[in-house]
Each structure stands twice: as C-alpha cells, then as structure tokens.
C-alpha cells in the first residue's frame, strides 16, 4: 500500500473525512434531548446525567492524545479503524446498560475510540496538502461537520420516541458505515518506516510539540491554548444544554433541536466567513477579532444571568454569538498552529484536541460542582474560559511573515 498524494485522492476525500470527524459530534449530541428521560429511567438527577458528558469529553481527549501520536508511527488508517472498532463495541455495551455507572464507564470507552478515529482528520489533511492549504481544507471539513450537531439532536429527539437505546443503535451503524468506507475506499495518507510504538517517544513528541519555538520564543502552543479556551464555551454548553433548555426554560425535546441547532448554524456562518477572509487577511488577526467579540458576548451573558434577566430571548442570542465565534477563532488559530509542524503534525493535532476536550470537560464539570438550579454556573465558566482565551491570544507576538506562502 502506497502513501496517497493529493493528486491520487478520491473525489470524496474531504466529504469522507467530514463523515469521520462527525463521529464525535454525533456521539456527544444525539442523546442530549433524551437525557431527562434517561435520568428518570435510571433513577438519577440531571447532575448525574450531565456528568456523562464530561466523562465523554475526557475520554475523547485522551483518545485524541494517544491516537494522533500513534498515527505518526503506524499510519492514520490503522489508528482510525481501531478507534471505530472500539467505538462500536462500547456503543453496543451502552445499549444493554442497566445503570448510570455502566453508562459512564462505556461512554469513556466509546469516547476513547471516537478520539482515536477523529484525531487523524486534520493530520491527514496536512499529510497531503501544504500547510496553508491544509488549514483551508480542514476548515471546509469542519464546515461540513457542522451539519452533524444540527441534525443529531433532531435524530435523537425522534428516536427517543421508540426508546433511548435506539439513539445508540443509530450511532453503531453510523460508525460501521464509516469504517467500511475507510477500509475499502480511502488510501493511507502517511506511511512510516518505523512502525514501533514507543510511549517514551510519544511523550517526547508532545514535549517537542509544546516547547517548539519560533524566532526564539515558544509561540506555537499559544495558538493551541487560544483555541482550547475558546472551545470551552461549547463544551460547557454541551454539559448544560439539556438542563438549560429542557429543564430551566421548559422547551420540548423537539424544540430543543431548534435552539441547539441555532448555535451550530452560527458557528457554520463564521466558518464560511473565515474561509473567505483567511485568503486575504492573516489568520492571526482574524483570531484576535474573534477573541475580543467572544469576550464581549460572554460578559454580556454573565451580567444578564447575574441580574436575573435571563429569558430565551436574552440568553439564546448570547449563546449563539458566543459559541458561534468559535467559527472565527478556531479555524484561524488552528491553521497557524498546525503550520509550525510537519513530521509532528499528528502529535500537534492530538495535543490540540486533547487540551480542548480535557479543559472543556473540567470547566463543564465545574458547573456541576457549583450547580444551584440556575444558569449562573454555566455563564460564569463560559466567561472564565473566554477571559483565559484572550489573555493567551494577546500574548502572541504579531506574525511578520505572510501566512499563505510556504
């Protein structure tokens, strides 16, 4: 099997990796409308049910941390297929779970497999495209992936009318279809002569990735941290979405799909704007604009909740804009971040993803620790993440080299 080059790729290369990258969003979002129902069935409160999301995020982050580095050694395809197999086994176990503790354990395994399978997507782009083009290609992939969080809660809200298990049956067959397409139709994008997996080497790869310098300064990792703290907004939202909309604002599971999808559409809109603007404006500048706007939006949300002015019509616009601005911050920050790496692109990608999901899980779990029946813990943690995002972003020196030239 030969390593694929750009001119050898099938025409559906980008759509396929969109399909693969969507495994994570489907697994995270499809069961959100059913969470109150599942809490009743398993005899637990919403806090216990909400905690299945940080569990998934941590497992997903660890899977991406290991999967990206391992894929640098043994290839993207082997890692992705192994992850999809783990995902399918865990999903079957969830279907037959009889307690919330079992669901927690199997969600962690499901997330580990999901992380393995999806972390290779951006690295695969970098394998076959130049750095500046890989960033744009991945932005296209992510724009297509935005469809998944829109339709997955809708799928879940209708499948829950059959049973909550139906949602996970759907996830199983989605992963199976993706695995079959990858196995039969998508070539390997990276081959390595050294196929031995050494975790000491993997640790060293992460160390090199974190400490990599540009112009004598540790700059690349700051882009990673900027996108990580920006992404905390959506991770915190995922942890609290069912409570906020279904429990607090009393919307129905079907209506939940509309309100949830509105956030995703906003992210997609900013992604489209990013795709156009990054051709003419340095991604660093676009990232900073997004960071400032997100800070202003999350500050507004915090004060709305603090002064008890929260309604659907005051909270939803803030969530839409605050979360949507990830579409301006993340593709631009990630495009610059990955451009600093070549042979360590898998490690860089997995580090980015790992930090995103683990930090998001920590901040999301903090909302459960301080849960008081209001939206204040959610709004507070979103503001914390955005403040940290801006502190890191504005510490990065302004680039002096044009981005779209190798």
- Looking at residue 64, what is its pLDDT? 83
Give the number of other Cβ atoms within 10 Å of residue 77's Cβ. 21
Is pLDDT at 383 greater than 90 in this prediction? yes
Residue matched to tokens 């989605």: 174
Q: At what angle do helices 283-306 and 220-241 cross, to 10 degrees?
A: 30
- pLDDT reported for residue 201: 76
Q: Determine the pLDDT at residue 294.
A: 98
Residues in the chain: 406
Q: Domain segments of the chain: what residues?
A: 10-188+207-393
Distances (CA, A) of 124 to 19, 76, 330: 14, 7, 18
Average pLDDT over residues 3-29: 81
Question: Which of these, 304, 275, 339, 295, lies nearest to 142 by C-alpha position?
Answer: 275
Q: Coil, strand or helix: which one is 214?
A: strand
The residues near 312 (Cβ < 8 Å, ≥ 6 apart) are 249, 251, 259
Quote the percentage of the chain above a pLDDT of 70. Answer: 93
- Identify the pLDDT of residue 226: 97
Rounded CA-CA distance 395/374 in Å is 34
Of 374, 338, 8, the C-alpha closest to 189 is: 8
Q: What gap in Å lies between CA 116 and CA 345, rounded to an integer? A: 15
Tokens 């906003």 label which residue? 266
- Digit-coded pLDDT (tens) for 111-151: 999 999 988 887 788 788 876 677 677 767 776 777 787 78
Rounded to an integer, the average pLDDT of 274-281 is 87
Q: Which CATH architecture has domain 10-188+207-393?
A: Up-down Bundle (1.20)
Sequence-distant (6+) residues with CB within 8 A of 142 are 18, 21, 271, 330, 331
**What's the rounded mean pLDDT across residues 154-181?**
95
What average pLDDT score do residues 275-299 get?
94
Say which range, 59-73, 90-104, 232-246, has the weakest mean pLDDT.
Answer: 59-73
* Confidence grade of residue 8 (pLDDT, cut at 50, 70, 90): low
167's CB contacts (< 8 A; 6+ apart) are 30, 31, 34, 155, 156, 159, 160
Q: Of 37-51, 94-108, 342-356, 365-379, which gets the smallest average pLDDT?
A: 342-356
């Amino acid at each position: 099997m030969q390593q694929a080059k750009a001119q050898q790729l099938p025409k559906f290369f980008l759509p396929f990796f969109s399909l693969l990258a969507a495994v994570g969003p489907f697994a995270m979002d499809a069961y959100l409308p059913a969470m109150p129902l599942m809490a009743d069935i398993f005899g637990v409160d919403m806090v216990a049910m909400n905690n299945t999301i940080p569990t998934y995020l941590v497992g997903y982050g660890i899977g991406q941390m290991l999967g990206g580095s391992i894929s640098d050694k043994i290839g993207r395809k082997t890692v992705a297929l192994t992850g999809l197999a783990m995902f399918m086994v865990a999903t079957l176990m969830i279907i037959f779970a009889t307690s919330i503790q079992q669901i927690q354990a199997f969600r962690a395994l499901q997330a580990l497999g999901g992380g393995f399978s999806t972390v290779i997507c951006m690295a695969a782009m970098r394998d076959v495209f130049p750095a500046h083009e890989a960033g744009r290609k991945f932005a296209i992939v992510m724009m297509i992936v935005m469809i998944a969080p829109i339709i997955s809660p809708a799928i879940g809200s209708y499948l829950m009318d059959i049973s909550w298990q139906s949602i996970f049956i759907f996830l199983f067959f989605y992963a199976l279809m993706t695995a079959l397409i990858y196995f039969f139709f998508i070539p390997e994008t990276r081959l390595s002569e050294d196929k031995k997996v050494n975790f000491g080497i993997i640790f060293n790869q992460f160390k090199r990735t974190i400490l990599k310098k540009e112009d004598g300064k540790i700059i690349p990792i700051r882009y990673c941290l900027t996108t990580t703290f920006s992404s905390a907004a959506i991770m915190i939202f995922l942890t609290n979405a069912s409570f906020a909309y279904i429990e607090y604002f009393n919307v129905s599971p079907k209506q939940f799909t509309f309100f949830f999808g509105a956030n995703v559409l906003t992210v997609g809109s900013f992604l489209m704007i990013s795709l156009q603007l990054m051709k003419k404006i340095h991604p660093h500048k676009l990232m900073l604009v997004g960071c400032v706007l997100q800070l202003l939006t999350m500050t507004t949300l915090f004060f709305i909740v603090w002064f008890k002015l929260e309604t659907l019509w005051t909270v939803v616009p803030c969530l839409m804009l605050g979360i949507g601005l990830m579409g301006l911050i993340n593709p631009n920050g990630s495009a610059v971040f990955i451009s600093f790496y070549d042979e360590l692109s898998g490690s860089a990608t997995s580090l980015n993803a790992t930090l995103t999901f683990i930090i998001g899980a920590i901040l999301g779990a903090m909302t459960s620790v301080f849960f008081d029946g209001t939206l204040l813990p959610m709004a507070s943690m979103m503001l914390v993440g955005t403040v940290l995002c801006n502190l890191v972003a504005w510490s990065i020196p302004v680039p002096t080299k044009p981005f779209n030239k190798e």
